Structure 1
Amino acid sequence: MVGIHSRSQSYQRRGVPPRQVLTFVDIEASSTPGLPWPIRMWSDKKGEWIAQPDALADFHAGSIGSQQHGRGKKAAATRSYVEPILDALPPGPVVLFVDAPGTRSFWPGLQNQKFATALLPGLNLSVVRDLAIVRCNNSDEIPRPVDRSSGKRSTADARKPVWLRCVLLLGHKTSRRSNPDQRLFSLCPCRPSASSGLA
């Protein structure tokens, strides 16, 4: 299971372009009872996946982010940077978790209007191994279910449940392009109502 996090590091000084910060964390799951699940993180300093504490130390030891990566004209360079990192993962199937607001400008296939019909992360991985992509979004773009007896929605309601929208794309390793047979699932956990019979 691999997570990709992306954010733009801006500076208050004028004329200084922002740095795009990308981090990658891998949890190697095992079906063997009692066997620990190793957590690795990509280290740009060492150019490989290493133990997460060591990679985190490398991350903070140097300058954070790169001005060569970002949205728009820099999106292609960003994709070229990410793909070799994913290719260096240990053998086996991969579940790739991506932050929708932070990464959809790099891969148009993560956008709602072009979902699964344009570029997606893990282009090379999908050719040589099984790959599933989970697009996650817990930003203010996603409406939250009502949690008030009055039926009104309040942004100050501390009891308002977390609303995480994930869309799961099950990819196939037989084609570099989006496969029309790909199965799409929209996973929208919410609090069951009494009328639904699930409460």
Structure 2
Amino acid sequence: MGNIAGPEIERLIQLLARLPGLGPRSARRAALHLIRKREELLGPLADAMRVARDRIVTCSVCGNIDTSDPCSLCADPRRDGTTLVVVETVGDLWALERAGVLNARYHVLGGALSPLDGVGPDELNIGALVGRVAEGGVKEVILAVNATVDGQTTAHYITELLSPYKVKCTRLAHGVPVGGELDYLDEGTLAAALKSRIDL
């Protein structure tokens, strides 16, 4: 059975199918929706993607993405330079910023150590992190990495690397989420919550 649509539409579907969370069926639906809304969606989306391709850069200080280098977070003098939050990805940085709890500076690793996947220290932005701490001024490094084996391995490795410097290393607490019910949590989350219990 041949292609139902022309090669241009098939190309659009193939490209959309490469996006995380979109398989071939979802990509077809998204493509059809974009084509139906050509004027209000497809044109502006194409323009926005062209601008993103041409203007977005990676911050040479922290690894965030922005249209300026250093990024707007690194350039903000109101940010607390004594606290450095280490994250695996830019998405993690954005999630913490949306929470609006911290006014710290960030450092994006670009992933987590994963020997099985061939990701070692040289593939991550770890050397630059040590360099930032070595410059002085940083009092606390918050390791906001994922609660996975690779994430915890990465946190341990970074803690060891930073041990020669007078800097406090902390990690995010693990356990019961806000609004969570114990009956719905897995055993690993419950165990982490019990180990991380606090005084009332």
Q: TM-score, normalised by structure 1?
A: 0.33
Q: TM-score, normalised by structure 2?
A: 0.32
Larger radius of gyration: 2
Whose helix fraction is larger, Structure 1's or Structure 2's?
2
